[in-house]
């Protein structure tokens, strides 16, 4: 591997990691508070991307697509939480299986509406060029994705650590009963967090639609990567999601350039290692 290729793969890994972070941060946020493993997170990602695609076709604006995809999916998340998940609250396996059922439906309806051919969202003017960084000519859009990942990470950190809502969420992660005993409407906080997680997935979908592409099955692939991210980082931990995303992004891209046939396999090696040495994940709590 030449120096040039090393920098290229490093950038690829970091930017892909940023995309993974957008999906898995929502995933881990939802789990952290609600103890729900949202296996429809990949579907929300894909639907967000497809809605973005439709918005671009209608308006020609990628930025509107970003907004539309994120907001529409947040609304969808709100409906799912209010309409379905609340009915099985407190039964973790039913919650998981419900999200699996929803992912069946979402995958099929997406196929019906947007078709089976891979679609790529066009990158907007201004950031569709290339820049030279570390002697590598690199697409500006991917650097923007990295920037967006950083912005979201900082935003979530500020939200969780420096706002009243964040304090409630953190308290809810530690002791749900106590929080509701203090007179806080945990139910509403739950709905809000689920919608926020969905919003992040929808946003990631519009970003991922331009970074990778959208096709039937992309939902499960991105879901699998997020699972690996949160298993490595520790479910419910924002820091874990950041470290896990970067690790998985880097391992994936270096793996792909070194052993292309086994790239997928290579991603799971660190997960297996973490499971053996520290089953609760790098930043997860035991038990």
Site residues (CB under 8 A) for other proteins? Answer: 31, 35, 37, 39, 84, 87-88, 91-94, 96-98, 100-109, 112, 217, 220, 223-224, 227-228, 230-231, 235, 260-265, 268, 271-272, 275-276, 279
Least CB distance to other proteins at residue 105 (A)? 4
Least CB distance to other proteins at residue 267 (A)? 8
First to last CA, the chain: 42
Residue 88, CB-side half-sphere exposure with 13 Å CA sphere: 15
Strands (E), 85-242: 130-133, 136-139
Name the residue nearer to other proteins (CB basis): 102 or 196.
102
Name the residue nearer to other proteins (CB basis): 35 or 239.
35
Least CB distance to other proteins at residue 8 (A)? 21
Name the residue nearer to other proteins (CB basis): 108 or 128.
108
Name the residue nearer to other proteins (CB basis): 63 or 265.
265
User: What angle separates helix 238-258 from helix 218-233, to the nearest 10 degrees?
Assistant: 120
Residue given tokens 């879901």 in the structure block: 223
Question: Of 206, 218, 16, nearest to 124 (Cα)?
Answer: 206
CB-based burial label for 253 (10 Å; 0-12, 13-18, 19+): buried
Least CB distance to other proteins at residue 128 (A)? 29
Name the residue nearer to other proteins (CB basis): 91 or 187.
91
Query: Other C-beta atoms within 10 Å of 113: how many?
Result: 11
């Amino acid at each position: 591997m030449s120096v040039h290729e090393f920098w290229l793969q490093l950038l690829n890994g970091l930017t892909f990691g940023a995309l993974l972070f957008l999906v898995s941060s929502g995933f881990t946020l939802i789990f952290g508070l609600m103890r729900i493993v949202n296996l429809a997170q990949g579907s929300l990602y894909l639907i967000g991307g497809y809605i973005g695609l439709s918005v671009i076709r209608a308006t020609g604006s990628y930025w509107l697509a970003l907004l539309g995809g994120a907001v529409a999916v947040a609304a969808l998340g709100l409906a799912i939480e209010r309409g379905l998940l609340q009915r099985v609250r407190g039964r973790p396996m039913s919650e998981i299986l419900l999200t699996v059922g929803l992912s069946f439906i979402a995958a099929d309806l997406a196929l019906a509406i947007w078709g089976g051919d891979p679609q790529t969202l066009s990158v907007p003017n201004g950031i569709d060029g290339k820049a030279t960084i570390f002697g590598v000519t690199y697409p500006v859009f991917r650097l923007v994705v990295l920037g967006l990942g950083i912005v979201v990470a900082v935003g979530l950190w500020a939200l969780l650590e420096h706002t009243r809502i964040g304090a409630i969420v953190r308290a809810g992660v530690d002791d749900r009963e106590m929080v509701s005993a203090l007179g806080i409407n945990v139910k509403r906080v739950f709905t809000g967090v689920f919608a926020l997680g969905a919003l992040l997935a929808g946003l990631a979908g519009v970003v991922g639609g331009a970074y990778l592409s959208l096709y039937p099955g992309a939902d499960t692939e991105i879901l699998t990567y997020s699972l690996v991210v949160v298993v490595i980082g520790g479910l419910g931990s924002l820091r874990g999601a950041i470290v896990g995303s970067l690790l998985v992004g880097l391992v994936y891209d270096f793996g792909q350039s070194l052993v292309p046939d086994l790239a997928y396999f290579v991603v799971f090696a660190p997960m297996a290692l973490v499971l053996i040495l520290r089953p609760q994940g790098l930043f997860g709590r035991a038990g």
